[in-house]
Chains A and B, each alone.
Chain A
Amino acid sequence: RKEVEQDPGPFNVPEGATVAFNCTYSNSASQSFFWYRQDCRKEPKLLMSVYSSGNEDGRFTAQLNRASQYISLLIRDSKLSDSATYLCAVIGVDYKLSFGAGTTVTVRA
């Protein structure tokens, strides 16, 4: 079983729609959680850290569910510029960052 798993998508949504997707992790002792955004042929860029209480940054909301071992990302009022691959990343007890393979989101006009 992979340490971090994501639905690869793609999620095709119209502008203005809300899109949400999850990421599951296998190690219950994992310590830190992140969402990165990666554009085609570019490096991952930190979108947001995910805290136990959940956190929001503008149109983006991240939640952590430790009991069920998943994190989620919700994008409200989708923009064309939100089209990207969203990588979930988890730091385990070995302090190493494990990535999911990414969820592709395409926002259409």
Chain B
Amino acid sequence: DAMVIQNPRYQVTQFGKPVTLSCSQTLNHNVMYWYQQKSSQAPKLLFHYYDKDFNNEADTPDNFQSRRPNTSFCFLDIRSPGLGDAAMYLCATSFDPTSGSTDTQYFGPGTRLTVL
């Protein structure tokens, strides 16, 4: 089945130790998103890619970076995780909403990050 896959599902890292989360999709969507969701809060958009065009949210800390080497894969790099970065990280994909196509976003299962 076409889907959005995230690895790992659970990640434990130490304070300050870089970590990379991955997302892949078989939906052939050209837009990929990374969200951060903390307990009992709304998912918060960190950044997104329209194809290879990177769009950073103004309030996303510099500690968070992203790479999209091809259409199917997208990575979230946290350069120096702090205790406040412990959260669920959600990857989502959609068609280009500006193109008139459906703008529905589909989410991967998430990676739950614990920072010790």
CA distance A102 to B92 in the complex (A): 18
> Nearest Cβ in chain B — how far from A70, in angstroms?
16
Could you tell me if B106 and A46 are in contact, using CB atoms closer than 8 angstroms? Answer: yes
CA distance A42 to B88 in the complex (A): 9
Could you tell me if B88 and A101 are in contact, using CB atoms closer than 8 angstroms? Answer: no
Could you tell me if A43 and B90 are in contact, using CB atoms closer than 8 angstroms? Answer: yes
Any A CB within 8 A of the CB of B63: no
Could you tell me if B42 and A4 are in contact, using CB atoms closer than 8 angstroms? Answer: yes
Known A41-B112, A95-B97, A95-B98; contact A46-B41, beta-carbon cutoff 8 A: no
Q: Which partner residue on chain B sits nearest A45 by CB separation?
A: B107
Could you tell me if A43 and B105 are in contact, using CB atoms closer than 8 angstroms? Answer: no
Which of chain B's residues have a CB closer than 8 A to the CB of A49?
104
The DSSP consensus for interface residues of chain A is strand
Any B CB within 8 A of the CB of A19: no
Number of interface residues of A (CB under 8 A): 23
Could you tell me if A96 and B45 are in contact, using CB atoms closer than 8 angstroms? Answer: yes
In chain A, positions 1-24 with a C-beta closer than 8 Å to chain B are: 4, 8
Could you tell me if A101 and B42 are in contact, using CB atoms closer than 8 angstroms? Answer: yes
Q: What would 20 more interface pairs be, CB under 8 Å, given A87-B43, A100-B42?
A: A4-B42, A8-B40, A32-B103, A43-B88, A43-B107, A43-B108, A43-B109, A44-B90, A44-B107, A49-B104, A87-B42, A95-B98, A95-B103, A96-B48, A97-B33, A97-B45, A98-B45, A99-B43, A101-B41, A102-B40
